[in-house]
Chain A
Amino acid sequence: MSGNKRTPLYAVHKALGARMVPFGGWEMPVEYSGITKEHAAVRTAAGLFDVSHMGEFDIHGPEALDMIQHVTTNDASRLADGQAQYSAMAYAQGTVVDDILVYRHNAEHFMVVVNAANIRKDLEWINSHNRADATVEDITDRTALLALQGPKAIEILQPLTNLPLQNLAYYHFARAKVFNVDAIVSRTGYTGEDGFELYFAADQSELVWNRIIESGSRFGLVPAGLGARNTLRLEAKYLLYGNDIDGTTTLLEAGLGWIVKFDKPDFIGREALLQQKQDGLKRRLVGFEMLGKDIARDHYPAFVHGREAGHVTSGSPSITLKKNIGLVYLPTPNASIGTTFHVAVRSKLSEARVVRTPFYKREDHQ
């Protein structure tokens, strides 16, 4: 485990009996009471996740927006103050440097949130394409990030802040006191449920964590780990960098065309992605479910008409749906809804079917 970083809540996780695993260069809690329980709690009540391993960059200056527009594929000029956006950074060939969130504080101040394993790479990438000298500051180490997710999240958080949470729209955020701590309260998440992500000073981590746990106990709030975070995000078809997208897959193949805005000024990857759009996609990332009892896992090969045609990028039992689901890149002609193919599960080929995604969608979706 040596060499892995620890979040400020490491001792709290250990005291709660969490199983700690290395993840993206960090030692993180994978589960506390068990993935199944934690997953179900987030779908029916709420879960609290320490995701302080995520990277945050503060981007300042008159050139901040121009720089972000150049290195990201979504259109950050459409953001209002206090609004966030799912976006990506692409290589010139249209493949993925990272998928990110872009927060606009104001016209000259943005925050970019990146995947833990990509912090250094992303920082170098941004700095090397920072033509107009916007100020880029890595604030990861002094920033804690907690995700409070689930239908009860709003009731749990409201007593701890005077920010009227019902007025905070999806993918919007505000600066507010949470308890006595200055925080960015963001209505975002990675679980497919309503919820909030809180960014605040790392040295306040234990206080904020404990106050939320106290406030939430009567609502069924549980601490939740990266294990449940993964099964939850897969049901909602949120992609995971390193599994479903990486430097070898393009944003269009991954189904992320909706965050590629060809009508904005030039950005890195635009030409290649436009070309690919015109030429048509040779393969696509699609969701599938297993028709038998076998569980498809990450990296299992996929077979179409007896030939290896791709591999599972994320595969798991779906705790909510009681099915075995996954994501796979398939050749476009074999990727339409309802098509069957096979996944090599150890020594045998198990039948699977391409299905509509997300696998799970909450009913009160905003």
Chain B
Amino acid sequence: MTPDDLLFTKEHEWVRISGNTATIGISAHAQNELGDIVYIELPKPGMKYKSGESFGNVESVKAVSELFMPVSGEVLEINEELGASPEKINEDPYGAGWMIQIRLLNPDETSELMSSEEYDEQTKEKEE
């Protein structure tokens, strides 16, 4: 089941908002589509991105996929463990597979995102 405390983008990133910070990763559907993840490229703390900008790349055995900011933010922390163990993204996409933590630069943007329920609807339609 998709956790219901998350918001989603059409590009399959998730965000967990907590006050004026947020944690970002990719959805279970996205990691499943990619297959075995072998490498991730993440930004350095301090980098600022606008909503929709690319902040990194995730690579599986067969494909590379860009990562897009669900909301505007400044990177506070990245998940260093993914460097050595990128497979955590496959194993636990909503937990140990988190990618970056950011400070929200424009909290109003979260209204543009989908709820878990809306996201599940969207991916289900695609799978059918």
Instruction: List residues of A whose CB falls within 8 A of some B CB.
Output: 19, 30-31, 34-37, 39, 227, 230-231, 293, 295, 297, 316-317, 319, 346
Which residues of B come within 8 Å of A, CB atoms?
Answer: 35-36, 38-39, 57, 59-62, 64
Is the CB–CB distance between B36 and A35 below 8 Å?
A: yes
Measured CB to CB, the closest approach of chain A to B54, in angstroms, equals 9
6 tightest CB-CB pairs across the interface, nearest first?
Answer: A36-B36, A35-B61, A34-B36, A317-B38, A227-B62, A295-B59
Q: Are B57 and A316 in contact (CB under 8 A)?
A: no
The complex places the Cα of A295 from the Cα of B61 at a distance, in Å, of: 9
User: Which single residue of chain A is at the shortest CB-CB distance from B64?
Assistant: A297
Shortest CB-to-CB span from A88 to chain B, Å, is: 27
Q: Taking A319-B61, A346-B57 as contacts, is the C-beta distance between A295 and B35 under 8 angstroms?
A: no
**B38 cross-chain contacts in A, Cβ below 8 A:** 295, 317
Main SS at interface, chain B? strand
Interchain CA distance A316-B35 in the complex, whole Å: 14
Quick one: closest A residue to B90, CB to CB? A34
Give every chain B residue within 8 A of A231 (Cβ-Cβ): 61
A295 pairs with B62, CB closer than 8 A: no
Query: Beyond the given A295-B39, A297-B64, could you list 16 further A-B residue pairs with CB under 8 A, ordered by the A residue number?
Result: A19-B35, A30-B62, A34-B35, A34-B36, A35-B36, A35-B61, A35-B62, A36-B61, A227-B62, A295-B38, A295-B59, A316-B61, A316-B62, A317-B38, A319-B61, A346-B57
Contact B61 A317 (CB under 8 A): yes
Taking CB atoms, residues of chain B closer than 8 Å to A227 are 35, 61-62
Minimal beta-carbon separation of B10 from chain A (angstroms) = 21
A227 to B, closest residue via Cβ: B62
Contacts of B35 in A (CB 8 A): 19, 31, 34-35, 227
Alpha-carbon gap, A316 to B39, bound state (A): 12
Chain A residues with CB under 8 A of B39: 293, 295, 317
Nearest A residue (CB) for B36: A36
